[in-house]
Chains A and B, each alone.
Chain A
Amino acid sequence: MSTTQDDQSRTSGSTSPTSALVVTLAWLLVSVPLAYGLWQTLVKAAQLLG
């Protein structure tokens, strides 16, 4: 690894891997509103199909 990359690693802090909980929470943060939007759209679209 180059010196610059070493510097960057130090600047960035610890080397512990990201916890699965953080990744899950981040995906929930975006998928919950998206699911709400999808549901509302499907309800509206059902009127056409019904």
Chain B
Amino acid sequence: MAGLAFLEKKNTVARPGYSKWLIPPAALCVHLSIGQVYAFSVFKTSLVQRFESSQTAVAWIFSIAIVMLGLSAAVLGTWVERNGPRKAMVAAALCWGTGFLVGSLGIAIGSLPLLYLGYGVIGGIGLGIGYISPVSTLIKWFPDKPGLATGMAIMGFGGGALIASPLSNLLLGIYDPQFDPANSGNGASASALAATFLTLGLVYLVFMLIGAALIRLPQGFGDDATAAHQPGRGGALVRAKAAIRTPQFALLWVVLFCNVTAGIGILEQAAPMIQDFFRDGQDSSVSAAEAAGFVGMLSLANMAGRFIWSSASDRIGRKPIYMMYLGVGLVLYILLATFGQTSPAVFVVLALLIISYYGGGFATVPAYLKDLFGTLEVGAIHGRLLTAWAAAGVMGPLIVNGFLDRAGEPGSLVAEDYHPALITMVVVLGVGFVANLLVKTVDEKHYDAEAVRSHSGSGDHSDPAGEPATTGGTR
């Protein structure tokens, strides 16, 4: 369609002089918006009351969204790569915004399935496309610092929850003056909930479309056939279809799965966990308000870890930093199980470090993929790898809740009841550590012959800033 030509990949190429420092804010417009999903729990009480349903029935909305994130990123990764970041960001904005609008209608008419369809399925597709859409573009603009670049964007996914949580409570309070977010048993009215969904949907739609307008591909990347791709270690340029058949992809899938499983288990249980660790009989020395503060601090650590550790990986290398996430993380879990209950300060410091590694793992993985497979279809490969996130999102809470359900009723658990889950996470991290150690350079038989030929023949391996492209972070 001629009117939509500006969405085409070839029309998204930057003019000479376009600042590469406009690309991170463009990516952040998308990631800060879709990061709202981490704050979905602020609606939980209101939704349970609106639909007169169980907590589990409402929790399914979030689970569907996360599973759809993984599936859509995997299935549509190649589409995103072929069609460029702007078309992908617009598609993500439309899906994410529409998800909220359909969800709002579901709340208004009292249809929970419509909320599953809206926020869960349609919104979840927006999550998947939105998550991967700016990542490979950032790597192309910042070839020497892919960890820093993707860390900036993926930090936004963590930061999105920090914004969405108070913003949602603010909107619910405006639309329903009776609503008190400090009272956990008090939900907002159905009309306020529907109006908040509607408002958020429109705000996120506009914000993400601004990101789509700002995004550009570096010169030379408008046409896949002639693009100046940056090869990975050993000159690797591997297509997504071939990459998923390599042992490196399988090992990285295990690495990400283990890292996410361990982190998400704590994240999902954070508030009751800190109270249970300092429980004496029925009472805990940590109040509900303090537990909420702890959850906020974890969100900060999650966000900071995405930026700090991912940026650090540009200096110390991808494999060593995953040795830290998994190996030091493993030790931290043992320390948490052994000394966690000695003082809240010890517990908090250990948990913050663990969650910072969880965030770091997310943000560093695109750069790790770039090192191994090159930039040829790194976005599509990343999309497929995110299925590990979807699987871990189910597995992590299952492990923790499975042990806790057997230990006793919520509100009566103590630190020792968490030990089996924590030791299981130590084993999980150990498996991830070994998988990371086994990652080696991709065999040449997986390289895309045409891309390698065209790359070696072009003689132009410079990055957009005129600096030589890396050979893929050989550390």
Query: What residues of chain A have their CB less than 8 Å away from a CB belonging to chain B?
Result: 2, 4-5, 8-9, 11-18, 22-23, 26-27, 29-30, 33-34, 36-38, 40-42, 44-49
Contact = CB atoms under 8 A, between A and B. Distances in A.
B55 interface: no
B16 A40 contact: no
Interface of B is mostly: helix
B221 to A, nearest CB: 9
B458 to A, nearest CB: 8
B10 A11 contact: yes
Nearest to B217: A8
Given A47-B293, A48-B290, A12 B14 contact: yes
Contacts of A49: 293
A34 B293 contact: no
Nearest to A6: B219
B29 interface: yes
B32 A33 contact: yes
Interface residues of B, number: 46
Nearest to A34: B159
Contacts of B226: 2, 4-5
Given A26-B25, A45-B300, A18 B17 contact: yes
A37 B222 contact: no
Interface of B: 10-11, 13-19, 21-22, 25-26, 28-29, 32, 156, 159, 161-167, 210, 214, 219-220, 222-223, 226, 286, 289-294, 296-297, 299-300, 344, 348, 458
Given A4-B223, A23-B22, A45-B300, A37 B159 contact: yes
A36 B219 contact: no
Contact of A14 (B10, B15, B29, B292): B15
A49 B222 CA distance: 51
Contact of B299 (A9, A36, A41, A47): A41
Interface of A is mostly: helix
Contacts, number: 117
Contacts of A47: 289-290, 292-293
A46 B167 CA distance: 19
Contacts of B219: 5, 8-9
A40 B289 CA distance: 14
Contacts of A15: 15-17
Contacts of B292: 44, 47
A48 B288 CA distance: 10
Contacts of A13: 15
B300 A38 contact: yes
Given A29-B25, A46-B293, A41 B15 contact: no
B89 to A, nearest CB: 14
Given A33-B163, A48-B290, A5 B15 contact: no
B21 A23 contact: yes
A17 B162 contact: no
Contacts of B299: 41
A45 B17 contact: no
A18 to B, nearest CB: 4
A41 B300 contact: yes
Contacts of A33: 32, 163
A40 B165 contact: yes
A46 B297 CA distance: 9
Contact of B10 (A8, A42, A45): A8
Given A5-B220, A8-B219, A40-B162, A17 B293 contact: no
